[in-house]
Amino acid sequence: MKRVVVIGAGAAGTMAAIFAASSGAETLLLERTKDGGRKILISGGGRCNILPAIVHESRFVTDSSPHTLRKMLRSWPLGEQIAFFEGEAGIPLMEEPESSKLFPQSESACDVRDRLLALARARGVLIETGALVDGLLPTGNGWQIERQGGPSLQADAVVIATGGRSVPSTGSDGLGLDIVATLGHTINRTYPALTPLTVTVRLKSDTAGSAPFAKLSGISLPVTLTAHAGTLKSTSTGGFLFTHHGYSGPAVLDVSHVAVRSRAEMDSPARLVVNWTSLNDKDWESALGPRGSRTVLNAVAAHLPRRLAEALIEFVRIDLYQPLSQLTRDERLRLIEILVRGELPWSGDEGYRKAEVTGGGVRLSEIDPETMESKIHKGLFLCGEMLDAFGPIGGYNFLWAWATGRAAGLGASHTQ
């Protein structure tokens, strides 16, 4: 019987253990925290957005081969994953139509974590918590696993599913990346992804002083946001939230990697451009046309939260209570420009502390896309967030974790 050790009881690791054991391997799941699955617990605001309802593969981001990424992703299609959760794992799902997300019907992330760990145990997986692995040594016919404060272990195959560097308080601090780097794997530059952006400056105009966006904290609305820096560009339509420190919400998180990378890798920061509504130039021309005594503020506030409407109008130096009939063509064009292509000031990001995932990671070309086995070391399997790939908000990163975790578990159980 093959002996498989899986390191990390998060989404990918738990799935790897389930499928390794299901394929007949003696499977040990090692977890450094006291419980495991802590990122599952905090996902979806505690509800766990377990999967997307529909998958757009082009929305994944990687510096490796997109073709290799797709092969890994397609190893376990969405429909089969849904069937697994509802059937084998006993987690009925429900769709949130407005966001195209799938949640457990219980709306409990704890339920998802606990049921997956229970399934692992039912399949024969031995789970050991509080076990910190700090080294791996290849032997002639397998692996020696070094544990902090404990005896070393021997295994025929090892699956590393320790995550990236995001939300280190959950036990994901990049240790696994450091270990595989010492084993010769290439780590593409890592960076915080899906993280809120911050602003310490005011939104300034040429002559009007400033309009502090900080005063808009708590306002949320759907927008289309584009981040552009060098060859990097990302656009997202979704929720936007003004925070005390800057901006958050799905649209911001989805494009944040471009902003983050521009600060670390480029000479100038990314340009963030926002269309505050679904209206285009022509629509606004009509909406701002003369209508009796209607004011500019009333016209704009009909489509935007009033406080935001006030801030944007004041920014382009137009009287809030000016009748539309008195609006000059130049004023109308200035207002339309900021409403459709407003430049969003930003100065930083919340980093790994708030990042939902890690960008970058182990280069995909060094991994067999069918089995997730390392092409550098036989019997070593890598999966989940530590690989150079991530998707947008909406269950994509769980989809990736489940698919690569399953492939790694199956691959490890059949290693020669």
Predicted confidence (pLDDT) per residue in 385-403, tens digit: 999 999 999 999 999 999 9
HSE-up of residue 28 (Cα within 13 Å, Cβ side): 16
Which tens digits make up the pLDDT trace of 159-188? 999 999 999 989 889 999 999 999 999 999
∠ CA 385-356-58, rounded to 5°: 65
Name the pLDDT band for 204 (thresholds 50, 70, 90): very low
Q: What mean pLDDT is predicted for residues 374-385?
A: 98
At 140 the pLDDT is 85
273 near 226, Cβ under 8 Å?
yes
At 184 the pLDDT is 98
In this model, does residue 324 exceed pLDDT 80?
yes
Site of tokens 């936007």: 240
HSE-up of residue 340 (Cα within 13 Å, Cβ side): 14
In this model, does residue 207 exceed pLDDT 70?
no
Full set of structural domains in the chain with CATH: 3-192+359-413 (3.50.50.60), 197-349 (no CATH)
Q: 317: which 2 tokens?
A: 């130096």
- Any alpha helices (H) in 90-168, and if so which ranges? 109-122
Give the number of other Cβ atoms within 10 Å of residue 413's Cβ.
24
Q: Tell me the C-alpha distance between 398 and 18, whole Å.
A: 16
pTM: 0.95
Strands 246-248 and 197-198: antiparallel
Give, for 260, the enclosing helix (H) or strand (E). Answer: helix 250-265
Site of tokens 């939902």: 356
Using CA atoms, how far residue 216 sits from 213, 273, 309, 310, in Å, is 5, 18, 10, 10
Q: Tell me the C-alpha distance between 192 and 172, whole Å.
A: 13
357 near 193, Cβ under 8 Å?
yes
**Secondary structure letter of residue 2 according to DSSP:** -
In this model, does residue 210 exceed pLDDT 60?
no
Give the number of other Cβ atoms within 10 Å of residue 29's Cβ.
29
400 near 60, Cβ under 8 Å?
yes
What's the order of all strands across the beta sheet hosting 150-155?
133-139, 142-147, 150-155
Which tens digits make up the pLDDT trace of 90-114? 999 999 999 999 999 999 999 999 9
38 near 170, Cβ under 8 Å?
yes
102 strand-pairing partners: 51, 95
Q: What mean pLDDT is predicted for residues 22-42?
A: 96
Which tens digits make up the pLDDT trace of 265-301? 999 999 999 999 999 999 999 999 998 899 999 999 9
Site of tokens 């009287």: 319
Where would I find the beta strands (DSSP E) of 8-78? 26-31, 51-52
Give the number of other Cβ atoms within 10 Å of residue 283's Cβ.
15
Q: Tell me the C-alpha distance between 60 and 326, whole Å.
A: 48
Q: Of 341 and 206, which is predicted with more confidence?
A: 341
Q: Tell me the C-alpha distance between 280 and 341, whole Å.
A: 10
Q: Tell me the C-alpha distance between 125 and 111, whole Å.
A: 19
Q: Give the 3-state secondary structure of residue 332.
A: helix
